[in-house]
Amino acid sequence: MMFDKAVPKNKGVLFYKILKYASYVIAAVSVLALALLVFQIFANGLQALNWHFLFGEYDILGDKPSLRPSLVTTAYLILISISIAVPLGVACAIYLTEYTKKGSKFVNVVRMALDILAGLPSIIFALFGILFFCGMLGFGRSVIAGALTMVLVILPPVVRATEEALKAVPDSLREGSLALGAGKVRTVSKVVLPNAIAGIVSAIIISMGRVVGESAVILLTLGGVHTQAPNGVTDPGSSLATTLYKFANTGFRAEAYATGIVLLAIVFSLNLIAYYMEHRLTKKKR
C-alpha cells in the first residue's frame, strides 16, 4: 500500500542542522575575538591604571596624565544630554502611541524619520552640531554644544525603545482603566507608564552608554581639551573616548589602553544595571 512506503527524509532537516552548527561556530569565533580583545586591553593597560591616573591632577610638565578632566566632562555630557533627551523622547513616544490613530500616515512618517535618524552615522550629527550649536547659536566648541548634539544622537533610539515598551502594555489594561472612569492622562500616567517602566529605564541606561562611547560628535564639537576639567558648560573639554584617541596619538600607549579599561568597565556596568533594572521591574510588575 502507499502508506507502507518509507517516507523520505526531509531535506530541510539537514539544512537546519548546518545552520545550527554554523551559528555555533560563528558565536564561538565572536566570543573568542571579544576575549582576545579584552585580554589585550587589560594586558597593556593595567600597568598604567592607578589612583593618580584616575582621579589626580593632570601634570603636563611631568608627563603624568590623568582621566579626571575627562571623567568630569563625561559626567557633564551624560547629565545634560539625558536630562533633555529622556523627557522629550518619552513624551514623543507617548504621543505617537497613545494619542494618535493607529495606522496614521503622520505617525508612519515620523517613525520612518526616527529610523533614518537612528541609522545615520554620528559624523553627520557632528557636522550639524558644528554648524548650528557651535556656529549659529554661538556656543563655540564647548560642553553644552557637545551635549546638545548628543541629544540629537540618542533621541531617536529613546523614542523608538519607549514606543516598543508602551506597545507591549496590553490594551485590556487601558480599556479597563477607561471603563472605570479614569481619563486618558490618568490612564497613561497610572497604568501604561508603570507597566512600561522596565523598557524605558533600559533605554535610558543604554543611551548613557552611547554617550560615554561616542567619539566623532565629541571630537568635533567639544573642543578636545583633555588636560583640564571644564569649570562650566561653556568651557571646552574631552570625553573618555576622545581622550583615548589623544593618548594613542601622543605616545601614551599604556594610558590609552588604561582608558580603554575604564570605558569597558563603565559600559559593562551600565549594561549590567540595565539588565538588573529591567529584570527587577518586570518581576515586581508581575
Among the ranges given (6-15, 154-163, 175-184), the one the predictor scored with the smallest mean pLDDT: 6-15
Give dist(CA 265, CA 251) in Å, integer.
23
Do 140 and 159 meet the contact criterion of CB atoms below 8 Å apart? no
Per CATH, the number for 52-285 is: 1.10.3720.10
Question: Phi/psi of residue 234, each to 5°?
Answer: -90, 0
Q: What is the pLDDT of residue 91?
A: 93
Q: What is the pLDDT of residue 216?
A: 85
Is the confidence at residue 136, as pLDDT, over 80?
A: yes
Residue matched to cell numbers 573639554: 237
Is the confidence at residue 225, as pLDDT, over 80?
A: yes
Under the banding of pLDDT at 50, 70 and 90, the label for residue 100 is confident
Read off the C-alpha cell for 220.
568635533
Under the banding of pLDDT at 50, 70 and 90, the label for residue 158 is very high
Give dist(CA 74, CA 55) in Å, integer.
14
Is the confidence at residue 3, as pLDDT, over 50?
A: no
> What is the average pLDDT across 151-156?
93
- Least Cα distance to 210 among 271, 165, 163, 143 occurs for 271
Q: What is the pLDDT of residues 188-206, one digit of tens each?
A: 888 888 888 888 888 888 8
Q: What is the pLDDT of residue 11?
A: 63
Tell me the domain boundaries of the chain: 2-48, 52-285
Under the banding of pLDDT at 50, 70 and 90, the label for residue 27 is very high
Collapse the DSSP code of 80 into the 3-class scheme (helix H, G, I; strand E, B; otherwise coil) and give the result. helix
Q: What's the pTM value of the predicted model, to 2 decimals?
A: 0.84
Under the banding of pLDDT at 50, 70 and 90, the label for residue 145 is very high
Among the ranges given (7-16, 78-87, 236-245, 262-271), the one the predictor scored with the smallest mean pLDDT: 7-16
Q: What is the pLDDT of residue 4?
A: 46
Q: What is the pLDDT of residues 106-116, one digit of tens each?
A: 888 988 999 89
